[in-house]
Amino acid sequence: VLFVTEAGGMVTDVDGAADPMTAGTILASNLELHPQVLQRLKAAG
């Protein structure tokens, strides 16, 4: 998590919550792609 955020990326759980460590799922990506990936994951169910 630290490496991604220090590199300018974003880390959430797959539902978009800011603390992925409690959810058990992690989504890490760059700031441009992150909202798009979240949207596709939500659409996939």
Sequence-distant (≥ 6) Cβ neighbours of residue 1 within 8 angstroms: 11, 20, 21, 26, 28
Q: pLDDT above 90 covers what percent of the chain?
A: 84
pLDDT attached to residue 29? 97
**Token pair listed for 38:** 């979240």
The range of the structural domain enclosing residue 11 comes to: 2-44
Residue pointed to by tokens 């603390």? 19
3-class DSSP assignment, residue 31: coil
Q: Decide if pLDDT at 8 tops 90.
A: yes
What's the whole-model pTM score? 0.85
pLDDT attached to residue 15? 93
First to last CA, the chain: 24
What's the total number of domains in the chain? 1
- pLDDT digit string, tens, across residues 22-40: 988 999 999 999 999 999 9
pLDDT attached to residue 5? 95
Give residue 19's region: left, alpha or beta (phi > 0; psi -120 to 50): beta
pLDDT attached to residue 45? 83
